[in-house]
Amino acid sequence: MLLLTRLAPLLASFAAMDVGQFISRMRRNAVIYALVLLFSLTAYGALVAAAAVAMAEEIGAAGALLVVAGAAVLLALVLLLVVRMRARAEERKRKQAAIDGGSRALMATAALSVLPVVVKSRSLAILAVAGGLGYLAMRNMDSITGRSHRPRPGPRPEDDYRY
């Protein structure tokens, strides 16, 4: 205990030093990233203006600005669509994980409810231990060989229609 009380101020000073360095590094990185963002937006604006000027020579100033605005709206809609699709996919994964977690909890509850019966019966206990060891052996064999008993996604050999 005495050693711990002597080490506490030293550990606190190390922690304070690391936090101070972390904060100063974050501030420096924030300024650098803000400048990078500013210059990137400037370059993007110049590129869009150059494209508008080049198109204005062909279709006029109003037409060029309409094309640039339409392209920006189209890109925004495409990005919005991608974000929505990803959000839906993540929601499906979250729901599936919740279902899988619920089934695991149900299986664990069922196993715990059967445990007193298994413990009282010597033959059932031996059978349960043998089954558990067999399951672990199969899992280890799969990880060693790299094989899995689950079907792989994709076309099955019997679905090959090339003759």
CA separation for the pair 92, 11 (Å, rounded): 45
Tell me, what's the pLDDT at 140? 78
Least confident of 9-23, 47-61, 93-107, 127-141: 9-23
pTM: 0.42
- Contact yes or no for 155/149 (Cβ under 8 A): no
Specify whether the CB–CB gap between 28 and 37 falls below 8 A.
Answer: no
d(CA 68, CA 41): 16
pLDDT at residue 145, as a whole number = 62
Instruction: Count CB-CB contacts under 10 A for residue 64.
Output: 18
Beta-strand ranges (E) seen in the chain are none
75, 88 in Cβ contact below 8 A? no
pLDDT beyond 70 at 144: no
Neighbours of 51 (CB within 10 A): 14
pLDDT digits (tens, 9 = 90+) for 63-101: 888 888 898 899 999 999 999 999 999 999 888 877 776
For residue 52, give Cα distances in angstroms to 44, 71, 146: 12, 11, 56
Q: For 147-162, what is the mean pLDDT?
A: 58
> How far is the C-alpha of 123 from the C-alpha of 43, rounded, in Å?
77
